[in-house]
Amino acid sequence: MKKLVPIAVATALLLTACGSGNYAATEIPAEPAPTQATTAPSTTAPCSKEGELASYAPDRETPAPGGVMPAGSYMEKIKARGRLIAGVSADSLHLGSRNPLTGQIEGFDIDMINMVADAIFGPPAPGKPHKVELRVISSPQRIPVLQSGQVDIVARNMTINCARWQQIAFSAEYYRSGQKTLVQRDSTAKSTADLDGQTICAPAGSTSLDNLKKKNPEVKPITADTDTGCLVLFQQGKAQGISGDDTVLAGDAAQDPYAKILPERFSDEPYGLGIKKENVDFVRFVNAALAQMKTPDASGQSAWMTSYSKWLGTDLGKLAAPPTAVYGRTP
């Protein structure tokens, strides 16, 4: 079973040290599909809106799942340790949340982490877990825990943008979300413009908070470190709404029958897997595995689409295909 390391509460959450445990690892084909990507101009120049999605292209030679990792690579370091350490959410329903029956953290973002672990360690034996250690982090912690090396990778509905590229590196885009606003079911609001003077919660350290302020400067924004924190404020009547990614709000609405989501979508939020800026070889490796996860098998179904359908498709609708990877970044 995955080792779950909760990281305290409030704004000063503490990442605990690793312990021993039984770690295991789903097969990811080795070679990325060339049709899965487009090439963007080199982004050695200052980041632009057009170039912010460009990640590092996969290496031509990618080890088979469970194979020998390149000498001196970050993947070799992870394999020697015996597990991948990932920063995730435990309260974002369908993305990363703890199953109350099993105690395990599961969701679409967790499937992305398992995919990376499997590419390094190979498929798990039947009934065995992936070789992953999950560390529960808040939204404001996503970048600091990467910079400090406390985790190898972060999968926590994190938007790729130019400002964050200055601090960390990103994989290719693995999902395209968008910002919406959740309100009480009896609200007469049709859009965010109708919420003047109302208190709206958005996660601290998120693009959602900035987007909300730009969209309607007349709202009264408040923050919480976690998605559940905003939902609690909403249910206590301390906030009249929540603004955030449609993926997160869909989970909130599923937990509150007295809430509804306004149809207005006023941003694009491309999700990337966060990785320490210096670990370019690991970014390339992750992109190769992610490309394979997006590639349909003989039946026409990809592992990515299977995961999307399981966790998000019911609430967010059917997708024709995952987002196309964009490469072209150089160290």
Fold equal for 3-10+20-176+270-327 and 179-261? yes
CATH of domain 179-261: 3.40.190.10
CATH of domain 3-10+20-176+270-327: 3.40.190.10
Per residue in 274-288, pLDDT (tens digit) is 999 999 999 999 999
With residue 154 as reference, give the H or E element that holds it: strand 153-155
Based on its alpha-carbon atoms, the radius of gyration of the chain, rounded to whole angstroms, reads 19
Give the relative orientation of helices 108-121 and 280-294 as an angle to the nearest 10 degrees.
110
> For the chain, what are the domain ranges?
3-10+20-176+270-327, 179-261
Tokens at 128, concatenated: 């065995």
Angstrom distance (rounded) from CA 182 to CA 32? 38
User: Per-residue pLDDT for the chain (331 aa), expressed as one digit of tens each?
Assistant: 444 443 333 333 333 333 323 322 222 223 334 345 555 544 444 577 778 999 999 998 888 898 999 999 999 999 999 999 999 999 999 999 999 999 999 999 999 999 999 999 999 999 899 999 999 999 999 999 999 999 999 999 999 999 999 999 999 999 999 999 999 999 999 999 999 999 999 988 888 999 999 999 999 999 998 888 999 999 999 999 999 999 999 999 999 999 999 999 999 999 999 999 999 999 999 999 999 999 999 999 999 999 999 999 999 988 878 999 999 999 8
